[in-house]
Amino acid sequence: MNKQLNKRFPCEECREQKRKCDCKQPCDRCERFNLKCVYLKGFSPRDQEFIQIAKEKEMHCEIEALTTEIELLQKEMASLQSATTFQRQPTPPLSHEDNDSHSHSNKWTPRSRTPSAAYPATPESMETTDDSSSIMTALSRSTKRQRVIAQDGSTSVVLSQQHNHQQRRPWILTIRNGKMEIETCVNTYNDLLPHLHAMTGAIYSQEHVPFTFHAYSTYGALIKAFNTMILNKYGKTTCRSWVNAMRMITLSSSSPSPTSDNTTTPCPQSIARFIHPLLDAYWKCKHYQHLAVHISTFIRLFVHPYQNDSNSITSSPAVMALCAGICLSSCQHTSSIIPTGSHLEYARCYYDQARQLIADRFDDPCLETFATFVFLALYEMTIGHDSTSAHYTNLALRMANMLRPEYTTQITMMKDDVQESILFHRLQTFLQQIRLFELATDFDNNDRDQRETGYARFYAACHNPTDEWWVAADDDSIQAHDLIEMHRCLQKLRRDIYNNSRIAMTTVPRDLAELTEMVVQQQINHVMVHWYTHMLPDRLKLSLPVLDAMNIPDDVYMKTVEKETKDKGIGAVLTVLALYDEGLLIAQSFLHKRLQGSTTRWAHLQQFWQGGRLIMGPEERRQAAGTKWARRIDKLLSVKPVIGYSGTDDEFFAMVMGAMFPEEESKTSVITLAIQTAINAVRLLRFLDASSEWRCFFDMRVLMDVWVLLTRVVRFERYLDAEDQTMLPRVRSDLEHCLAMVRNNASRSLHAANLIGKMEEEYRELLL
């Protein structure tokens, strides 16, 4: 092997593949893969451009490194200079003797002080004058020749000599070199005390303490504790949303058998005959909602190896498990292949076949076993078998943990390996979504204490997932690319909402009404609208206003959506619908579920509580109202250890009453934003329900969220202001549309039929 021929540039193969080259002839990589190792003798324009870009990038990195080092040196010099200056400065003269010595000296000299001289002992000493005046400055320049008596970051307080101190002057604000200085003209304690008296008097006379004092007060801690309770309510609302949707789409295996006219008994020949049509229907429709597989890799690994004869494809466990899930999906493409009444029977046959095939391979760590467990968990979850679904989910999670190291390191992967890695991560992301449904069901079925802690964990899992990895492959369709980008953007939005809801409040609200308005404006108007306006690609946007629903007629809205769907695809509609669903969940967290009874109104709080335990007799405690008040007061008392409260019960009661019952009424925008969001969401759902091309993308979870919110709005109609009451006719009309869409898209299970009956009964009660 020859020595290096070119020490600066790689060979053509390594340069095209962006791999490291040892510049030998031939290089190690070309020799290992039996490739032709060729070096360019001259530089093409593309090579020169690449070299220039590399040089510029290296220079930028060097500049950034030098800039960082300069900033660190400046900070070090400033800190050393401040420390040296502070050590050399004597303490300011506060006694009469110090003033005398200071008046005869132009130079500051250190002086030993006794404890008795630390503070003035007599009023005469307070009236003593001094030539030093304090100046509070935000200067970052050197304070070497100034006397620093206090410093916090870039803000410092220095002493300067004032000769004409007999005449009192107001404080002076000046700007020098782009920095602010406040000259206080405070020379003695006699000058300082009036200012302190004026500040405390101003605080005492104000209705509320200035916000700067809230950061160190128990009141601010109380409001922050209430904010934590609201955040936990987000988790509860999100969890209930998933549960309500799952109840509507679940096909229970114990449902009544359909009539014999619509039932076809499956046989082995029909099972094999329907496999390819079912897969083709899935690739065209439900695949874009699940994004659970990489199509070409799935076919290459799990379909082609089993096509030696006509019936051997039934030996593929991953294909059988996927077909079982396809049969249970509410899809018009599937219904055109298998009769509607036979979906459960065919799904059961595919499921039994997959389970038998995988029974002896459950400990084989490969992609086929992992995919089979994922789709078996999907089948069990869809028919409502929670325990069996959790079993297959746990098996899939263990298999994912074993396979993750192999499919996350892509440095040395070839093309097929990268595609298999994409398949693995899509299966893992889909498994995360199945796990969320199972968590929601677990938290809803468990006892009250477990639910309260579980809701917060469920909200964190939804908005800050750890196993979601959305990546597009080169051979994915345009629609798949759009939907993957949609999931990426939604993942960023949910993380922003999750992180933004937990940041410290810079300005503490005065009461719960102000806190509600701040959270709603922060989450909806700031985070969500900013995300839609500035961070979302144009292909995933609609040219319609996000939160304006009443100024656009329905026909104009529908025509615009239909036109843009033809141009952009379904991605824009699904993205906006997901955005509206986040807003609906936030609004639900602030709206009561039902009207308060005459004995459970919060206005009667002081009759049952004075800061301590519940004030109620044993008989009243056993009643429904007594149980309600006991739960409420327990929640209020749980705040005490959280904020470290050490005051009396009366003080805690007064603080809670001031936060929960403000003296001034304030209007919140949560109801207005919620109604307009719900109206636009209903429009998009009606479009999907009426479209023959996109009906399979109908989202039952968004529909149930709209129903819950609009029923609460109608239930509280007499408490709405004039602006919100003008939208009530539209709200009632949308409730009718929701009922019609539920009947069209809900499953044919007995449980779904009971829920529809309850919704119809609730609607009739609201109209009375």
Point out the domain boundary residue: 445, 472, 496: 445
Question: CA 539 → CA 287, 405, 474, 478, 574, distances in Å?
Answer: 20, 35, 19, 11, 12
Q: Which of the two residues, 650 and 231, has the higher pLDDT score?
A: 650
Is 90 exceeded by the pLDDT of residue 324?
yes
**Pairwise CA distance, residues 624 & 699, whole Å:** 37
What mean pLDDT, rounded, does the chain reach? 77
**694-746, pLDDT tens digit by residue?**
988 998 889 999 999 999 999 888 888 888 889 999 999 999 999 999 988 88
Neighbouring-strand partners of residue 181: 137, 174
Report the first-to-last Cα separation within the chain, whole angstroms: 93
Residue 565 identity: T
- Mean pLDDT lowest among 14-23, 161-170, 494-503: 161-170
Q: Tell me the two tokens of residue 50.
A: 């690449």
Query: Helix and strand tally (H, E) in the chain?
Result: 33, 5
Is 90 exceeded by the pLDDT of residue 678?
yes
Q: Residue 445 has what pLDDT? A: 63
- Buried-state track 114-134, b at ≥16 Cβ within 10 A, e below 16: eeebeebeeeebbebebbbbb
Point out the domain boundary residue: 385, 416, 445: 445
CB 728 within 8 A of CB 717: yes
CB 633 within 8 A of CB 621: no
Q: Which of the two residues, 507 and 262, has the higher pLDDT score?
A: 507
Q: In 3D, which of 557, 565, 559, 563 has the Cα closest to residue 539?
A: 565
**84-131, pLDDT tens digit by residue?**
554 444 434 433 444 443 334 333 333 333 333 333 333 333 344 444
Range 344-365 average pLDDT: 89
Within 10 A of 597 (CB to CB), how many other CB atoms are there? 10
Q: Which of the two residues, 37 and 214, has the higher pLDDT score?
A: 37
Q: Calculate the CA dihedral of residues 564, 566, 569, 574 and round it to 10 degrees.
A: 50
Residue 407 lies in a domain: yes
Residue 385 lies in a domain: yes
Q: Residue 235 has what pLDDT? A: 77
Is the domain of 293 the same as that of 437? Answer: yes
Is the domain of 407 the same as that of 260? Answer: yes
Q: Residue 115 has what pLDDT? A: 35
**34-51, pLDDT tens digit by residue?**
888 888 766 667 767 777
Q: Residue 134 has what pLDDT? A: 47
Residue 336 lies in a domain: yes
**Pairwise CA distance, residues 714 & 706, whole Å:** 12
Residue 546 lies in a domain: no
Is 90 exceeded by the pLDDT of residue 248?
no
Q: Residue 255 has what pLDDT? A: 46
Strands 179-183 and 172-176, how do they pair? antiparallel
Is the domain of 194 the same as that of 284? Answer: no
Point out the domain boundary residue: 445, 476, 502: 445
**Pairwise CA distance, residues 705 & 239, whole Å:** 11
Q: Residue 754 has what pLDDT? A: 84
Is 70 exceeded by the pLDDT of residue 13?
yes
Q: Residue 320 has what pLDDT? A: 95
Is the domain of 302 the same as that of 171? Answer: no
Q: How many CA atoms lie within 13 A of 572 on its CB side?
A: 20
Is the domain of 259 the same as that of 344? Answer: yes
State the Cα angle at 55 between 51 and 58, rounded to 5°. 140
Report CA torsion sign: 268, 291, 359, 341: negative
Q: Residue 118 has what pLDDT? A: 34
Residue 456 lies in a domain: no
**62-75, pLDDT tens digit by residue?**
888 888 888 888 87
Is 70 exceeded by the pLDDT of residue 3?
no
Secondary structure class of 24 (helix, strand, coil)? coil
The most confident of the ranges 79-93, 139-153, 419-433, 463-477 is: 419-433
**Pairwise CA distance, residues 711 & 709, whole Å:** 6
Q: Which of the two residues, 444 and 329, has the higher pLDDT score?
A: 329
Is the domain of 356 the same as that of 436? Answer: yes
Element (H, E) at 335: helix 332-335
CB 386 within 8 A of CB 372: no
Q: Residue 230 has what pLDDT? A: 75
Range 411-437 average pLDDT: 82
Q: Residue 5 has what pLDDT? A: 45
Strands 172-176 and 132-137, how do they pair? unpaired
Question: CA 67 → CA 54, 60, 71, 117, 479, distances in Å?
Answer: 20, 10, 6, 49, 44
The most confident of the ranges 460-469, 492-501, 583-592 is: 583-592
Q: Is 327 left (phi over 0), alpha (psi -120 to 50) or beta?
A: alpha
Q: How many CA atoms lie within 13 A of 254 on its CB side?
A: 3
Q: Residue 106 has what pLDDT? A: 39
Residue 660 lies in a domain: no
Is the domain of 166 the same as that of 263? Answer: no
Is the domain of 173 the same as that of 322? Answer: no
**Pairwise CA distance, residues 183 & 312, whole Å:** 91
Domain that holds residue 182: 126-202
- Mean pLDDT lowest among 200-214, 338-352, 565-579, 728-742: 200-214
What is the widest separation between alpha-carbon atoms in the chain? 115
CB 375 within 8 A of CB 321: yes
**Pairwise CA distance, residues 395 & 392, whole Å:** 5
Cis peptide before 26 (omega within 30 of 0): yes
The most confident of the ranges 149-163, 199-213, 235-249, 708-722 is: 708-722
Residue 395 lies in a domain: yes
Q: In 3D, which of 437, 451, 406 has the Cα closest to residue 700?
A: 437
Within 10 A of 154 (CB to CB), how many other CB atoms are there? 11
Residue 312 lies in a domain: yes
Is the domain of 310 the same as that of 419? Answer: yes
Q: Tell me the two tokens of residue 339.
A: 């009769």
Q: Residue 252 has what pLDDT? A: 58
Is 70 exceeded by the pLDDT of residue 267?
no
- Buried-state track 612-648, b at ≥16 Cβ within 10 A, e below 16: eebebeeebeeeebbeebbebbeebbebbeebebeee
* pLDDT above 90 as % of the chain: 21
Residue 336 identity: S
Is the domain of 347 the same as that of 430? Answer: yes
Range 296-319 average pLDDT: 85
Is the domain of 288 the same as that of 425? Answer: yes
Q: Which of the two residues, 187 and 562, has the higher pLDDT score?
A: 562
Is the domain of 267 the same as that of 380? Answer: yes
Within 10 A of 211 (CB to CB), how many other CB atoms are there? 14
State the Cα angle at 756 between 445 and 748, rounded to 5°. 85
Report CA torsion sign: 89, 95, 97, 101: positive
Any long-range contacts for 485-489 (C-beta under 8 Å, 24+ apart)?
485/537, 485/539, 485/540, 485/571, 486/540, 486/571, 486/574, 486/575, 486/578, 487/291, 489/531, 489/535, 489/536, 489/537, 489/540, 489/575
Range 576-599 average pLDDT: 84
Number of structural domains in the chain: 2
The most confident of the ranges 64-68, 193-197, 200-204 is: 64-68
**657-677, pLDDT tens digit by residue?**
887 877 666 667 788 888 999
pLDDT interval class at 310 (50, 70, 90): low
